[in-house]
Structure 1
Amino acid sequence: MRPAVSDPLPDRVDPARRRGRGAASARSGRFEPAREAVDDGWGTQDEPLPPLRTEVTEERVRSAIARNTSPDVPFDRSLNPYRGCEHGCIYCFARPTHAYLGLSPGLDFETRLVARPNIAEVLARELGNRGYRPATIALGTATDPYQPVERERRLTRACLEVLDAAGHPVGIVTKGALVERDIDILAPMAARGILRVGFSVTTLDPDLARRMEPRAPSPARRLAAIRRLSEAGVPVRVMVSPIVPGLTDHEIEAILAEAAAAGAVAASWVMLRLPREVSELWQEWLAEHRPDRAARVMARLREMHGGRDYAPDWGHRMRGEGVHAEMIAQRFAKAARRAGLAEHLPPLRTDAFAPLTAGAAQLRLF
């Protein structure tokens, strides 16, 4: 018998209760016991539960900058002011990180968020450490720095203020139109050659976007944000990430053309990745929202990963291999050239970096 836990959520949650969410279940993480609804004697087990609300807790961090040595990503350090992401993108490769918190990579990932209120203060201290050498920090690689909670918490903005004051290069990755709020910081940093933004546009179909990325801005709103950033002088890369074979791959050319028309100057892509718990969550989503495409999508993915849902090998995991993967790569390259979008941009400057003194950091933060 599976052990009962205090959380009453079963694996699969009633659609009415999870309206506006990406995942269909609160599937247990790999480090926690399976969840099971139990009757506690009050006869309330079958009563309808209230809609899922977003909860935000806090953790005070000891370090702000996360390091990686992955040979297939273009940065060695990143910064994430939040754990979890309310955008609820069902395909998000970062969902399994919630398992390390003893939470579900499914609905918990998008409803039980963690904010890091002291992250800017710790960042300032780390940038001032003796021997620190600047290189571009990727802001928002695991969870979106401009998800809805940022409107009130303003942790991303606080980090940008520190990076701006230190002249430190930063590349932002987001779907959030809230990025427009910070143009007063972003534009001057871009003019100094220390900032650019990567904006994710996965589909132009508003119905598909609403189902696949339920609390992210609409495709049209993202294109409008690209336009506003570009008009302010901020270089924007459109990120067609992920491309879903058999579901969104037919949109490659249209997305790149629309993004270029909005002012994007570069483009990149990543194939859909299904690490760990993401595969089951994704297949649940397909069965509910695109049952007519489910078999085709999974067949294409398995062709690209040697018969598996996902192969994590360096150099392979981002693009896959085989006929269909190569076809998508060729189409993307051709469409990007036609739209005038660069694959590579000049590196951001590091020579503008000047570590903040303790006094200057405190003044900037408070």
Structure 2
Amino acid sequence: MSADHRVKTRGTGAQPANRFHRQRIETASDEWPLDPDDDLVPDSLATQVDDEKVRTIISTNQSPDVPFEQSINPYRGCEHGCIYCFARPTHAYWDFSPGLDFETRLIAKTGAADRLREAFDKPGYRCKPIALGMNTDAYQPLEKQRRITRELLEVMRDYRHPVTIITKGGLILRDLDLLAELAADGLCSVSVSLTTLDNDLKRRLEPRAASPATRLKVVRELTAAGVPTSVLLAPMIPFINDAEMEALLEAAVGAGAQQAGWILLRLPLEIAELFEDWLQRHYPDRAEHVMARIRDMRGGKVYEGAFGKRMRGQGVYADLLSQRFKRACRQLGLNQIEPPALRTDVFRRWGGGQLDLI
């Protein structure tokens, strides 16, 4: 498939080679143009889903850049198709391409709720907040049919276990009943990812994610239901969406958000190739300018993965973004009060008929 071929409602039509394969297949041009009606280059591609029976469900994290130690990802791959998604390279571990495969060949973790109960029931388990859907979105379209995320939340409720969620999916409002119940006990918080207020840019950048208006509706309805809800401007991309920073924060405040954060675009491994291809297809007039600025903020490289630098970058432009963010938050009244930590003292264990009395 040619790198510039567009697959309808998908973030990319490119299929970078799996970096773990010792042999690669490359397309050689015979100077004949590809036929757009050929089955090898379809205009659209259906989502395929494989089931995975996992033995464990909780992953642990030791990175100082993220505020959680435990996480659960109900799905591998993500149908939202965000071209910048930092999780794309992980698809290579499952013998798939981080390109189009990441959006169309998904893996659902069946039995996830049972594995979570087993983990909670272990005598040695220590209750710490679990971040739900940190690698791929727990509320991507597949969740509407599979309901794995909802089943996990039901376990959290039963065990009174704290949970945090980051999403750009409007489907989260389906679970407002569970989230409100957890939040009433200080056991839940949600962060909504805001990237742009421009619907056209959203369709190019995040083809199957919720619209900007829907994400603001999520903030508004969660807040009204008593669920602590923040926004995350992620990622900020030079000369693509960074000019919207103040407008995004203002819209978030209008929807009821009291907390906000931001993350600079990250391009590890195959994402750099995919993102540069995306720039050439959608913004060829500024592609070189965008990449030059990214390198300025990454010490001359496309990506710098060192802890403490990868989320914010460095240099004059990165500092300017940080200053703009802090100034806008101060003017809008964001981040003025430290949100209370989620509770861990009400956790109860049901395994074997035993209930921890609080």
Alignment TM-score, normalising by the size of structure 2: 0.93
How far residue 11 of structure 1 moved from its aligned partner, in angstroms, is: 5.5
Name the counterpart of 1:205: 198
Name the counterpart of 1:339: 332
Could you list the structure 1 runs, at least 4 aligned residues long, displaced by more than 3 angstroms after superposition: 35-38, 44-47, 358-361
**Matched residues, percent identical?**
51
Name the counterpart of 1:256: 249
Segments of structure 1 that go 5 or more residues without pairing to the other structure are 1-9, 39-43, 362-366
Name the counterpart of 1:353: 347
How far residue 34 of structure 1 moved from its aligned partner, in angstroms, is: 2.3
2:25 aligned with 1:25: no
2:142 to 135, 138, 149: 149
Q: 2:315 corresponds to which letter in structure 1?
A: G
Cα distance between partner residues in 2 of 1:208 and 1:256: 18
Is residue 24–residue 281 contact of structure 1 (8 Å, CA) maintained in 2?
Answer: no
1:223 to 193, 204, 216: 216
How far residue 347 of structure 1 moved from its aligned partner, in angstroms, is: 1.1
Map residues 1-366 of structure 1 onto 2, 5 A cutoff: 10=1, 12=3, 14-15=5-6, 18-32=7-21, 33-36=23-26, 48-49=38-39, 50=42, 51-342=44-335, 344-358=338-352
Query: What is the aligned-residue RMSD (CA, Å)?
Result: 1.9
Q: 1:75 corresponds to which letter in structure 2?
A: F
Q: Assess, with a 3 A threshold, how the Cα gap between structure 1 residues 13 and 247 changes in structure 2: closer, same or farther.
A: closer
Q: 1:59 corresponds to which letter in structure 2?
A: E
Cα distance between partner residues in 1 of 2:112 and 2:353: 17
Q: Deviations over 1:149-174 (max 9, x none)?
A: 00000000000000111111110010
Q: Tell which deviates more after alignment, 338-347 or 162-171.
A: 338-347
Q: 1:357 corresponds to which letter in structure 2?
A: G
Q: Assess, with a 3 A threshold, how the Cα gap between structure 1 residues 360 and 225 changes in structure 2: closer, same or farther.
A: farther
Q: Assess, with a 3 A threshold, how the Cα gap between structure 1 residues 291 and 120 changes in structure 2: closer, same or farther.
A: same
How far residue 290 of structure 1 moved from its aligned partner, in angstroms, is: 1.1
Cα distance between partner residues in 1 of 2:109 and 2:36: 37
SS of the equivalent of 2:83 reads coil
SS of the equivalent of 2:110 reads coil
Cα distance between partner residues in 2 of 1:129 and 1:346: 28
Is residue 76–residue 136 contact of structure 2 (8 Å, CA) maintained in 1?
Answer: yes
Segments of structure 2 that go 5 or more residues without pairing to the other structure are 29-33
How far residue 130 of structure 1 moved from its aligned partner, in angstroms, is: 1.4
Q: Deviations over 1:318-339 (max 9, x none)?
A: 1001111011001101111222
How far residue 12 of structure 1 moved from its aligned partner, in angstroms, is: 2.6
How far residue 360 of structure 1 moved from its aligned partner, in angstroms, is: 9.2
Cα distance between partner residues in 1 of 2:134 and 2:236: 17
Cα distance between partner residues in 1 of 2:220 and 2:96: 37
Q: 1:141 corresponds to which letter in structure 2?
A: M
Name the counterpart of 1:5: none
Is residue 12–residue 100 contact of structure 2 (8 Å, CA) maintained in 1?
Answer: yes
Cα distance between partner residues in 1 of 2:354 and 2:109: 21
Cα distance between partner residues in 1 of 2:125 and 2:166: 24
Q: 2:344 corresponds to which letter in structure 1?
A: T
Cα distance between partner residues in 2 of 1:314 and 1:294: 27
Q: 2:163 corresponds to which letter in structure 1?
A: V
SS of the equivalent of 1:292 reads coil
SS of the equivalent of 1:172 reads strand
Q: 1:28 corresponds to which letter in structure 2?
A: A
